[in-house]
A and B are shown apart, each in its own frame.
Chain A
């Protein structure tokens, strides 16, 4: 009996380790390959002799990309959208969630429903597009000609994130709030000095969600921002990919490195910043899943 137990245990363990290792390597491989292909020589990439490690190392593909003004432009645009977009989203979400968390708020059920209904039913991309065009006109008519600001203000407000914040605020004991009020705190002070410090980790998680969706945002940025100088990085990557994988456009390619290397270099550059901050944000990311979605 005991032997059978040990044997099945061992077999399962071996299977687990093997498949986990295979899957983890599969997750890692494309990144390693992207780096290798970005810095390998032209013939090595085109003949497919780069499998894992770089061959005929060159950095011209990176140099070509770094000398491209549009690349730096798009990078700064992405930073702009991420920074201001996250600040704006957090401002709106924290204020709204704080008000919603108060039981004394009249019509609270209605406001909650107003929020939650957008998670059940979305108008779809075409009506949203028409609506953005209309609001763009309004923005232009009041003198905001920059599409970036419309993207910052109109995009990326997710009801789910507001509900996460609201739940966190509801978890703050009402005694502490009362104590602050007795001490003479105003509504704003209660929020900034009691509620925000007491739900720091949820706020960090939600800010991270907002920041990631801003950093990754592609579709609406491409639809809404007409000036190509204002395109964020994701749109830039996509436009370059469309250009560089078109055989007709690439027929006359006569650089010392493969055209693929440029795309791989671009991919590497776009994920390096995320890899750098990844160790610091991972725990908030993991936490977000566990608090996400479920509410009593």
Chain B
């Protein structure tokens, strides 16, 4: 905004002169004694700042201090000394992870690849399902029937990750036909989708099936719940749009293509961008609960790699921190990039 003379000066009719605008005088004063002004405001609004303190402390202690611990990835590990007193070692852990070519390094690359693959499959299979489901919900005209469908499909979302993975584990459990093989493995073996040997050994022990189990359980868990936002966009479409399209002779497919799709496109774009932003935040808890040493080949992601090495008896916290550092920096770039694109595309910032 361009400054105008009237901002600074006002005409004093009694004296017939221009004087400094009193508001501007206050502004000048604030500028001159900025820190005094800050102090006075804080004292005046002290209750407001007191309210802020618990939140700031919680975030400082349990969100920002870990970032300080993360600096361990640049330091020589030491069991006794805290991070602050360890010596800097430069990028040795990063070099080790990326270029050493030994078992640890190949494991890291495998984890990195698995992270991307799991996320990418999630994007390909997990993302369209809620949209399709929302289209189907829209076809159900009876409110009662639709509520029943919705209640049933939201249901799995209410389970915890532990209960969900326990159910999955039990349903595809190992065992022979007479000693408690999981009911789903049994059914798949009966209809010939998997061989009986594979079913006997347990699907979760077979690296070839891990990704499928992960994605299918993911869709089962959250497709219904994720469809809420798309369904809300669909029911917001005015009925007159459909009528107009029908008069123009549009069949159902044409209506979906020319009425529904354009109306929910912005929602789809926003959700897609958000999803891409969180591409690297694979749910480590779920992987951790479903994987085992037999399936590391396809299941091990960066977080679980770090978990094994940093919290178990692995290569140490420095290596683990370096692995997570790389994962999280790439993740942050994706989130910020996605947010910027969303801002440009729709004028809505996600945060």
Contact = CB atoms under 8 A, between A and B. Distances in A.
A289 B38 CA distance: 38
Contact of A126 (B48, B166, B270, B307): B307
A201 B153 CA distance: 24
Contacts of A130: 66, 69, 72, 83, 317
Interface residues of B, number: 102
Interface stretch (A22-30, A60-68, A141-149, A170-178): A22-30
A13 to B, nearest CB: 5
A93 B48 contact: no
User: In terms of DSSP, what is the predominant structure of the interface of chain B?
Assistant: helix
B158 interface: yes
B188 interface: no
B42 interface: yes
Contact of A5 (B166, B249, B288): B249
A122 B281 CA distance: 10
A5 B251 contact: yes
Contact of A120 (B181, B246, B336): B336
Interface string A271-287: 10011001000100110
Contacts of A26: 220
User: In terms of DSSP, what is the predominant structure of the interface of chain A?
Assistant: helix
Interface residues of A, number: 109
Contact of B140 (A20, A129, A159, A293): A20
Nearest to A36: B183
Best-buried of A19, A105, A114, A294 by chain B (most CB within 10 Å): A294
A131 B62 contact: yes
A271 B159 contact: yes
Interface string A195-237: 0000000000000000010011011000100000000001101
B193 interface: no
Contact of A20 (B149, B154, B317): B149
A122 B41 contact: no
A263 interface: yes
Interface in B65-118: 65-67, 69-70, 72, 82-83
Contacts of B274: 293
Interface of B: 38, 41-42, 45, 47-49, 51-52, 54-56, 58-59, 61-67, 69-70, 72, 82-83, 133, 135-137, 139-140, 148-149, 151-156, 158-163, 166-167, 169-171, 173-174, 177-181, 183, 186, 220, 223-225, 228-229, 232, 246, 249-253, 270, 274, 284-285, 288-289, 303, 306-307, 309-311, 317, 320-321, 324-325, 327-329, 331-332, 335-336, 347-351
Given A123-B66, A126-B311, 13 more contacts: A34-B170, A48-B177, A95-B52, A115-B55, A121-B328, A127-B321, A127-B324, A154-B61, A218-B161, A218-B289, A238-B166, A295-B349, A296-B349
Sort A-B residue pairs by CB-CB distance and give the 3 closest, nearest first: A96-B55, A124-B324, A126-B310
Interface of A: 1, 4-5, 7-9, 11-13, 16-17, 19-21, 23-28, 30-31, 33-34, 37, 45-48, 50-51, 91-93, 95-96, 98-100, 102, 104-106, 111, 114-116, 118-132, 134-135, 153-155, 157, 159, 162-163, 186-188, 191, 212, 215-216, 218-219, 223, 234-235, 237-238, 241, 245, 247, 258-260, 263-264, 266-267, 270-271, 274-275, 278, 282, 285-286, 289-290, 293-296
